[in-house]
Structures are given as structure tokens and as C-alpha cells.
Amino acid sequence: MKRLISLTALAVTLGCPGAQAQYTDGAIKIGVMNDMSGTYAHLGGQGSVIAARMAVKDFGAAQGDEG
């Protein structure tokens, strides 16, 4: 069991590089990688897209932009 946990942690660490952002032409593009259909769609499907949109809207409101 301990070995399985160690191997899982190693796979997650190597398989999931850090997020990267690109800033070009004054626009920031944010991508949401999720599972829209399949076994885990109910965990991070359309709900994660809605959550990302809400976060962007909240950030814009905090900055004084109503967009």
C-alpha cells in the first residue's frame, strides 16, 4: 500500500507540469482542461467551466471592470 501511494504521487508529480500563462497583444487567455463526457464528467465537467467564468467575473469586479 505504501509503495502504491509513492508511485501514485510520483506519477502525479511527473505527469502534471505546472500551469503556464501567456500574455499576448494585451489579452490573457485562460483554458480549462476537464472531462466534459465520460466517467468523471460529473466531478469537473461543465461545473468547472462555470466556476472559471465566475472567478474571472469576480476578479473583473474587484478591479473595477464590470466585464
pLDDT attached to residue 61: 74
Residue 11 maps to a domain: no
Residue 30's domain spans which residues?
Answer: 20-67
- 38 within a domain of the structure (yes/no): yes
Residue 59, in any domain of the structure: yes
Domain for residue 13, yes or no?
no
Q: Is the pTM of this model over 0.85?
A: no
DSSP 8-state class, residue 8: H
Identify the pLDDT of residue 21: 64
Closest CA to 62 of 32, 54, 30: 54
Q: What is the pLDDT of residues 20-62, one digit of tens each?
A: 666 677 777 777 888 888 888 888 888 888 888 898 888 887 7
More confident residue, 56 or 14: 56
Domain membership flag for residue 2: no
Total domain count, the chain: 1
In a domain, 48, yes or no: yes
